Amino acid sequence: MATNPAQRHRFEARVDTLMQRLDRFWQRVTEGMQLSELWSQFRTDARSSYQLYSKDVDATRVAGVSRRKHFFGVVVQYFWAILEKLTPARRVLLLVALVLVFMPSGTVTWGSDSGRETVSLDLHFYGGLLMLLLLILEVGDRVVMKRDLQIAKEIQTWLLPATPPQVPGLEIAFATRPANTVAGDYYDVFPRPGAGASGGTFLIAIADVAGKSIPAAMLMATFQASLRTLSSIPGSLTELAGRMNRYACSNSQNGRRFTTAFIAEYDPASRSLSYINAGHNNPMLRRKSGAIERLAVGGMPLGILEDAPYESASVSLESGDWLVIFTDGVVEAENKAQDEYGEQRLITMLHSGVALTSAALLNALMLDLDRFVGGAPQHDDVTCMLLKAG
């Protein structure tokens, strides 16, 4: 039946309004992300969940066990790995929901003897309802945890320097990327009053706490507080490392939560850099001539052995020299083929960017790291500091 122009206009207006509402709904649900981004996020979440549950599963097939029996055994292990992550009350709720959902007959009917009054219950529906309730409870926990993590991230950001300080004779740049919301990597540059022959020196530090996320972030905060406090006590760099190690041993859970660290003290007057490498990745010192030196003198990571000895070494920084200090998250970053970024690529970037400022070279380095990794997940915190002697 034909419609007049007014009716057609009203119909088109309703369709347009509906499409606008659907578009707003979709934008709210996806937060403006494209389908490719949503799929990538889903794959990342699925991979993280698999890693969470699979660490409690032994998928090794025992000799003599059939494939079918082995498969069902692994499925049972995964089921228990999921179930044990819930509280006891929620475990019961999940089991009841699964029983109702997978019952052969999903409807129960009963009534009076006369058959005139009957009541029917769709058990599949109520099983799904219980699962929805369980999902709501788990999402509630996740929201609370996300809020707490955000607060922890803000505190950690406050603990770390936002911009490098002005150090005579040095141009400094640093960057960090946590693998999770919060990180176990630490970096800092701050003055150490009263140390050095000429009055004031600067302490330069990068540290990597074993582990990731909240536990590592908490120990990182204690490392920051102890370094700031203990560095104000007069003494040599080796004495400072010894004090740091003794303090770390009291918080390392018998060495399980150790910390690798590179701690250096720079004297602007003499352009001398004294350092201790406590089990950390060896920083690279590129001389103006192009020669690469590795700063490896020091000792074992902090927090393993209370009376561990530490020794220091010194280098002189001349104009045109570069110092790169980094955590293992940089050189061990993997692409989708599980190839590591490696130290050679880092050295190549250092050679190619000697004419740049420290900030520009650091930006180029992080971009090169992004290109290499591509869409592969980040497994470890990434922290890098560049110092250019002027």
* The pLDDT value given to residue 198: 47
Own/partner long-range contacts of 105-111 (Cβ < 8 Å, ≥24 apart): none
- Cβ count near 65 (within 10 Å): 11
Average pLDDT over residues 81-88: 89
Half-sphere exposure of 63 toward its Cβ, with a 13 Å CA cutoff? 0
Mean of pLDDT values over 117-137:
82
Q: How many CA atoms lie within 13 A of 312 on its CB side?
A: 19
Residue labelled with tokens 């080796």: 238
Q: From 349, 341, 337, 325, select the one nearest 380 (Cα to Cα).
A: 341
pLDDT higher at 37 or 352: 352
pLDDT, one tens digit per residue, over 277-317 is 999 999 999 999 999 999 999 999 999 988 899 999 999 99
Shortest CA distance to 154 belongs to which of 175, 179, 182, 180? 182
Range of weakest confidence among 137-151, 259-273, 337-351: 137-151
Fold of 164-389: Phosphatase 2c; domain 1 (3.60.40)
DSSP, collapsed to helix, strand or coil, labels residue 282 as: coil
Q: For 332-344, what is the mean pLDDT?
A: 91
Token pair 């929805």: residue: 132
Confidence of residue 119 (pLDDT cuts 50, 70, 90): low
Q: What is the pLDDT of residues 222-243, one digit of tens each?
A: 889 899 999 988 889 999 999 9
> In the chain, what is the straight-line distance between the N-terminal and C-terminal CA atoms, in Å?
84
- Residues in a beta bridge with 38: none
Query: Half-sphere exposure (CA, 13 Å, Cβ side) for 206?
Result: 24
* Residue 168: CB atoms within 10 Å: 12
**CA angle 64-66-70, nearest 5°?**
105
Task: For 146-199, write each residue's pLDDT tens digit.
Answer: 887 788 778 778 888 888 889 999 999 999 988 877 778 899 999 986 554 445
Determine how β-strand 272-278 pairs with β-strand 284-286.
Answer: unpaired
pLDDT at 250: 83
Given a cut of 50, whether residue 50 has pLDDT beyond it is: yes
Domain boundaries, the chain: 70-109+120-159, 164-389
Backbone φ, ψ for residue 276 (5° rounding): -135, 125
Structure tokens at 105: 């007959």
CB neighbour burial string for 116-153, b if at least 16 within 10 angstroms, e if fewer = eeeeeeebeeebeebbeebeeeeeeeeeeeeeebeebb
At residue 105, does pLDDT exceed 60? yes
Q: How far is Cα 132 from Cα 134, in angstroms, rounded to an integer? A: 5
CB 30 within 8 A of CB 38: yes
Question: Would you state the pLDDT for residue 134?
Answer: 92
pLDDT at 107: 63
Greatest Cα-to-Cα distance within the chain, rounded to the nearest angstrom = 105
3-state secondary structure of 211: coil
Average pLDDT over the chain reads 86
Contact 382, 329 (CB under 8 A): yes
Find residue 122's DSSP bridge partners.
107
Name the 3-class secondary structure at 109: strand
User: Which residue stretches of the chain are H helix?
Assistant: 5-30, 35-54, 67-83, 88-101, 123-159, 213-230, 237-249, 328-331, 342-352, 358-373
pLDDT value of position 271: 93
